[in-house]
A and B are shown apart, each in its own frame.
Chain A
Amino acid sequence: DTAVSQTPKYLVTQMGNDKSIKCEQNLGHDTMYWYKQDSKKFLKIMFSYNNKELIINETVPNRFSPKSPDKAHLNLHINSLELGDSAVYFCASSLRQLGINTGELFFGEGSRLTVL
């Protein structure tokens, strides 16, 4: 019974394609995140949604578009994929009641995207 689950776990695609990664959490958290771990293993935040509202939007190309249909889901859609998009993408969730971070992030297992 996985707390934060991402699909697919592996994704290999050609440059120029559009792809999506899905994330779901069953922890009852109100905030979800997308992090990117690049080749240097650095975990960088990309987006965060709190109660379906975008609260963090880092300097990410607008080819990346997150979508949160409800509090338990945060999907990441990437248009016109480029070689540099190859990375591991981690979804995470946390509880932020009343605008205060009250606990740790729970991460999914990651989705390894390879763009050829």
Chain B
Amino acid sequence: DQQVKQNSPSLSVQEGRISILNCDYTNSMFDYFLWYKKYPAEGPTFLISISSIKDKNEDGRFTVFLNKSAKHLSLHIVPSQPGDSAVYFCAASGTSGTYKYIFGTGTRLKVLA
């Protein structure tokens, strides 16, 4: 029972264009969402987060959009750079109780120079 899903295992984008990574979740108790970036042989590193009280959060080239009614979030990277090539994981959590961080299966982004 996968509560957080990233249906695209991979994505290729030209340098300078927009990368859009998608994530869907099923549990309406989730109210805090995060995106992580992972390079080979390294641990995931935090990129950006969004609380369910917002529908958009921006940090430089990275913007996360949350559509609560659709239980969908997306990460936009613009402009995409070759250094952005990595695996991106979305994660979801509830902010109260003993709720755990549940991760999606990841999307491998390749930015072509």
Contact = CB atoms under 8 A, between A and B. Distances in A.
B93 to A, nearest CB: 5
Contacts of B43: 4, 90, 92, 107-110
Interface stretch (B20-28, B63-71, B75-83, B100-108): B100-108
Contacts of A116: none
Interface in A39-84: 40-45, 48, 50, 55-56
A51 to B, nearest CB: 12
A42 B100 contact: no
B87 to A, nearest CB: 7
A45 B3 CA distance: 13
A69 B1 CA distance: 33
Contacts of B59: none
Contact of B98 (A41, A56, A110): A56
A110 B89 CA distance: 16
Given A41-B87, A99-B97, A104 B46 contact: yes
Given A56-B100, A109-B42, A41 B106 contact: yes
Contacts, number: 63
Interface residues of B, number: 26
SS class of chain A's interface: helix, strand, loop or mixed?
strand
Contact of A104 (B34, B87, B95, B105): B34
Residue of A43, A56, A106, A107 ringed by the most chain B CB atoms within 10 A = A43
A94 B99 CA distance: 12
Nearest to A10: B41
B101 A45 contact: yes
B105 A41 contact: yes
Contacts of B44: 43, 90, 105, 107
Contacts of A100: 95-96
Interface of B: 32, 34, 36, 41-46, 49, 87, 89, 91, 93-103, 105-106
